[in-house]
Every structure is written in structure tokens, then in C-alpha cells.
Amino acid sequence: MPSIALVGCGYWGKNLVRNFFGLKALTALCDSDQRRTTELTKSYPVPAFRDFDEMLKAHRCDAIAIAAPAAQHFELTAKALRAGKDVFVEKPLALSAEEGQKLVDLARQQGRILMVGHLLQYHPAVLQLKRLIDSGELGKIQYVYSSRLNLGKLRNEENILWSFAPHDISVLLALLGESPIAVAAHGGSYLRTGQVDITVSNFEFASGVKAHIFVNWLHPFKEQKLVIAADRKMAVFDDTEAERKLVLYPHRIDWVDRVPVAHKAEG
């Protein structure tokens, strides 16, 4: 089991602390807020640091897990890679494509593993969707729609696109197995100037598939839904459902005298 030091012990970092400790992999914690590490080390007795550079120098480990605010991801990840560590970093990898590419290039130069926490790619429903697509059971995919909506959590360090959409984009690319040839995103700032609260992103692929992703943290109810429309069957992954998270609909479109006719069936 590799030894892992975690930097960032806030809202999401606490989950990583619990899981890594349970795997007997956690060897150190780092957070600028000493109150967080003091409280966590009562249940998870490992060395704690306030300064990341100090931890890199003083503590030996195989890998660094980063759950700090998104604006710090680039600097922390680069330092860890240069120190010869494998890195697991929560999404988003960085706050610009340029910085993200620099980290990818640096990981290759250093011969280190760089992994982003796109956990939804490993969700059982997403894995099943991938099997259905690859087997041809759904048929030819025509379009994909993904929504991630809720009221809060309102972030200051990143906008809604960087906070919510990486989940949906990573799943979209994993399912389709191709990169888009065109991307456009539109959004609006309603609470604070310059901090986008709602976005709609459109993707076009060489295969002819079109997709759009709607993310919003000013929505009256929670919705996390992925819809795939194909010519044999359609699929809906609803992550807010307790049991039936993935539903298949044997809907199809037939052509009669060059006119499309919808055949609707129960899911």
C-alpha cells in the first residue's frame, strides 16, 4: 500500500482522510488551519503540518493527495510532482487549460502518476452505461444532456463551471471515447460580479454526437441527471434516486416514407 499525505482538510478533504486512513495509507495531514488538523488527528493519529513546503521536506511518502481550494491546485500539484511524488488532485485539475497542460507535461517529465478525482467515472451506473454503449445495445448515440443543479454550496474560489461541470465533462468524454471538435459555454453572474453562477456548455463531436451540460447553484431543487438519446434505446442516469439510478427506455425513431416517427415505450 502506498503511503499518502493529504493537503486540504476541509469539507471534502475529511472524506479522503477517513478513506485513506481506513486503507492504512494515510501518513500525514496538512492544512493552513491548525484547528482542522488538531481535530482530525484526535481520530486519525498521524503527523500534521501547517506548511506544505515543510511537509514535503520533513515527511517521507509515496504520494500526495490534494483537496485544497481549486485556486491552489496548480501550485501544490507542481510542487509535489517536482518533489518526485505521485499526485491525486481533486477536480478541477487547474483553473485554466494552459495550467492543466503544464501539469500533465510535468508529470510526464518527472515520470510520476497524476490522477484527477473524477469519481463519477467509477460509479456503477456510469460503468454500466459504458458497457451498453460499447456493446451497441443503445445504438447510435444522437445527443447527450447532463444537468447538475442545486441551491448552494456557493463558492468564492471558483465559479460554477469549474465547481460542478468537471464531473459531467469527464463522464461525457469517458462514455463517448472521443474529444469534442467544438465547445461553447455561456453563463451569467447573478450574485457577484465576475463570478458565474449558471452555465450551459455545448459540445460537438466528429461522430455527429452533440451534447450540452447545464450547471447551476441557484436552483430550487437538487438535480443530477444524465440523458443519452440513441436510435435503439435511451438511457437516464439519475443520481438523486435512491434505487433506480439507471433506467433504460426502449424508445426509438423509425422512418416511414422519409418521415421520422417516434415509438415510445415504458422504461
Closest CA to 181 of 202, 167, 165, 163: 202
Contact 205, 183 (CB under 8 A): no
- Under the banding of pLDDT at 50, 70 and 90, the label for residue 88 is very high
Q: Which residues contact 162 (CB under 8 A, 6 or more apart)?
A: 70, 92, 95
Domains 4-117 and 120-263 share a fold: no
CATH topology for the 120-263 domain? Dihydrodipicolinate Reductase; domain 2 (3.30.360)
Domain extent listing, the chain? 4-117, 120-263
Is the pLDDT at 238 greater than 60? The verdict is yes
Give residue 154's pLDDT.
Answer: 84
Give residue 267's pLDDT.
Answer: 52
Q: What angle do CA 37, 40, 42 make, to 5 degrees?
A: 115
The CA distance from 154 to 140, in Å, is 38
Average pLDDT, the chain: 94
Is the pLDDT at 237 greater than 60? The verdict is yes
Q: Is the pTM of this model over 0.85?
A: yes
The mean pLDDT of 156-163, rounded to a whole number, is: 89
Q: Which residues contact 158 (CB under 8 A, 6 or more apart)?
A: 69, 70, 71, 92, 95
Give residue 266's pLDDT.
Answer: 66
The CA distance from 87 to 3, in Å, is 12
Give residue 55's pLDDT.
Answer: 96
- Write out the H or E segment, with its range, that includes residue 110: helix 97-110
Q: Lowest mean pLDDT of 1-10, 117-126, 228-237, 258-267, name the range.
A: 258-267
Give residue 64's pLDDT.
Answer: 98
Contact 61, 88 (CB under 8 A): no
Is the pLDDT at 94 greater than 60? The verdict is yes
Give residue 265's pLDDT.
Answer: 73
For the chain, percent of residues with pLDDT exceeding 70: 99
> Per residue in 20-65, pLDDT tens?
999 999 999 999 999 999 999 999 999 999 999 999 999 999 999 9
**CATH code that applies to domain 4-117:** 3.40.50.720
Give residue 158's pLDDT.
Answer: 86
